[in-house]
Amino acid sequence: MNFSNKTSRVFGKIANKAFPHIIQTFINRLYVYVFKIDMSEFEKPCSYKTLNALFTRSLIKPRNTDAKPFNLISPTDSLIMEQGALKDYKALQIKGMEYSVLPFLGLSDTKEIESIKDYKFINLYLSPKDYHRFHAPCDLEVLEAKYFSGRLLPVNKPSLLKNKDLFNINERVVLKVRFSYNKEIAYYVAVGALNVGKMSFSFDVKIKTNAKFGDAIYTYKDCFFKAGDEIGTFEMGSTIVLIANMLFAKDAQDTIKMGQELALLNKNS
């Protein structure tokens, strides 16, 4: 196990420790202050029994969303770090830093590879201040989940600029999904990062991340989500990468809230 994974596991144990209430409240309030977290949609900091419970906080009430049959809403509160068209099956982790999406997605089937040649990508970066749950960007069906073990390097801007092929190095869970609107296949990828000791998924407790057993593939039948439904949770910040046939509704470097319109879908003829 490499240093970043060990660090993340140690941090995870500390973050899950429940300190006496007065100490825990101080820790929670300090974290909120340091990272300038807007808690208006969440419980008060003193109500969380561990730091991890604060990281993975849920909304007090569901958000109104901009979901329509023909669009994608943002699955996260995040920064659109980068977006663009795939070029020779390559995407940008950040400007000037390309990586191949074929190993990223674990694609080897010729038909699957050919089907994504005109797709686009969006990288959504969650910082430590952000709400850490991720949601369905539209009505969809989850067909498959692939877990790729790997490192847990930071996914912030300095690390993206420094580490070549970071998205192919870091651990990740690749969801192969089918959009209900046009029946097209797309990919929804949760990328692990430093101090993300765990990524959990609401539809399958068997998916274990930062794990010792290596890669795994899970397949599903009738695993449906409506736009805005919760899909999973990051512990600390990370990145969601969407790879799909879509038209952008926002620009790179825009900040976006979960539920706001992110992209438009093409209607399948």
What radius of gyration do the chain's Cα atoms show? 18
* Residues with catalytic function: 77, 135, 238
Q: Residues near 23 by Cβ (< 8 Å), separated by ≥ 6?
A: none
User: Which of 180-202 are b and which e, b meaning 16 or more Cβ less than 10 Å from the residue's Cβ?
Assistant: bbbebbbbbbbbbbbbbbbbbbe
User: Is the CB of residue 236 less than 8 Å from the CB of residue 55?
Assistant: yes
Tell me the C-alpha distance between 194 and 126, whole Å.
12
Tell me the C-alpha distance between 217 and 89, whole Å.
22
Dihedral over Cα of 170, 175, 181, 183: its sign = positive
Angle at 146 between CA 145 and CA 149, to 5 degrees: 140
Q: Residues near 215 by Cβ (< 8 Å), separated by ≥ 6?
A: 146, 147, 148, 149
Run of H or E including 184:
none
Tell me the C-alpha distance between 57 and 68, whole Å.
27
